[in-house]
Amino acid sequence: MQILTQLKVTFLGTGTSQGIPIIGSKHPVCLSNNPKDRRLRVSVLVEWDAYTYVVDCGPDFRYQMLRAGVEKINGILFTHEHADHVLGLDDIRPFYFRQGDIPVYGHKRVLNSLKKRFDYVFKTKNKYAGAPSVILNRIKNEPFEISGLKVIPVNGKHDRLQVFGFKFNDFAYLTDMKTVKDKEVEKIKNVKVLVVNALRIDPHRSHFNLEEALEFIKKVNPEKAYLTHISHLLGFHDEVEKTLPENVFLAYDELQITI
């Protein structure tokens, strides 16, 4: 297995399923002029050597790719099949037209959901010429390899729905988590950088709230942690960040880190 020393991670989106601002909302955070309070649907770009992978491609995927200047992708990893994580699949077309079939990785259930939602992508007869094509890669709760990099899935629950997080080298990315068993936590103990969801202050049935996210970070004990999948109900970026432990930060759109 090739050992790679540095990853570049770009936060393409750090918001919840509706994004921030929410359409028509008069909530003070939705009216904020601070760019860090404006959040597209959650996704990250992970790069190393000459390789570029995306984790989730939601409804903002096209704009996220333009904003980040991405010209090619080697594949897409899906955490789960909810709309805010998959609805950008059609916008892989420019990559497909230049590169050919795009590899996608996901749980069997997720891949089956994509086949239903984007049935025209998977047609074998009389397929529309403008539709993209993908290479399906089923992943289980066991390590797999992408472009020479070992990826370790981290299994969790989003309410009752199974969802995968992913560990790339010393970087762990988890979103839409509510419960994670101790044996899964062991996979990411003491990583350099952990990213985990923190939806709001009040409890939520399918997401960590801020208190739960901070408790989870203590369990994992990373050098640094970043919070993502944030709703307007968490509060203003600058005010919330002042309350966090010294090694915990709020992620924001277009933030780049290296690990």
**2 assigned to some structural domain:** no
CATH of the domain at 145: 3.60.15.10
- Pairing state of beta strands 75-77 and 51-55? parallel
State how many domains the chain has: 1
**3 assigned to some structural domain:** no
Q: Would you state the pLDDT for residue 4?
A: 56
What pLDDT digit, counting tens, does each position of 27-84 carry? 999 999 999 999 999 999 999 999 999 999 999 999 999 999 999 999 999 999 999 9
**54 assigned to some structural domain:** yes
* Residue type, position 165, single letter: G
User: Rounded to an integer, what distance in angstroms lies between the CA atom of residue 91 and that of residue 5?
Assistant: 31
Q: Are 144 and 152 spatial neighbours (Cβ–Cβ below 8 Å)?
A: no
Q: Are 63 and 46 spatial neighbours (Cβ–Cβ below 8 Å)?
A: no
**1 assigned to some structural domain:** no
Handedness of CA 45, 161, 226, 184 (dihedral sign): negative
| Mean pLDDT, residues 138-146 | 97
What pLDDT digit, counting tens, does each position of 102-126 carry? 999 999 999 999 999 999 999 988 8
Q: Please, which residues have CB within 8 angstroms of residue 194's CB and are 6 or more apart in sequence?
A: 172, 174, 188, 217, 220, 222, 224, 225, 226
Angle at 182 between CA 179 and CA 183, to 5 degrees: 115
> What are the DSSP calls for 42-104, one per residue?
PEEEEEETTEEEEE---TTHHHHHHHHT----SEEE-S---HHHHTTGGGGHHHHHHH-SEEE
**Length of the chain in residues, anyone?**
259
Q: Would you state the pLDDT for residue 124?
A: 87
User: Rounded to an integer, what distance in angstroms lies between the CA atom of residue 215 and that of residue 200?
Assistant: 14
Global pTM value: 0.96
What pLDDT digit, counting tens, does each position of 145-195 carry? 999 999 999 999 999 999 999 999 999 999 999 999 999 999 999 999 999
Residue 116 neighbours by CB distance under 10 Å: 9
Higher pLDDT, 94 or 2: 94
**153 assigned to some structural domain:** yes
206 by Cβ neighbours in 10 Å (0-12 / 13-18 / 19+) ranks as middle
**53 assigned to some structural domain:** yes
**112 assigned to some structural domain:** yes
What pLDDT digit, counting tens, does each position of 193-249 carry? 999 999 999 999 999 999 999 999 999 999 999 999 999 999 999 999 999 999 999
Residue 234 neighbours by CB distance under 10 Å: 24
Q: Which domain holds residue 96?
A: 8-258
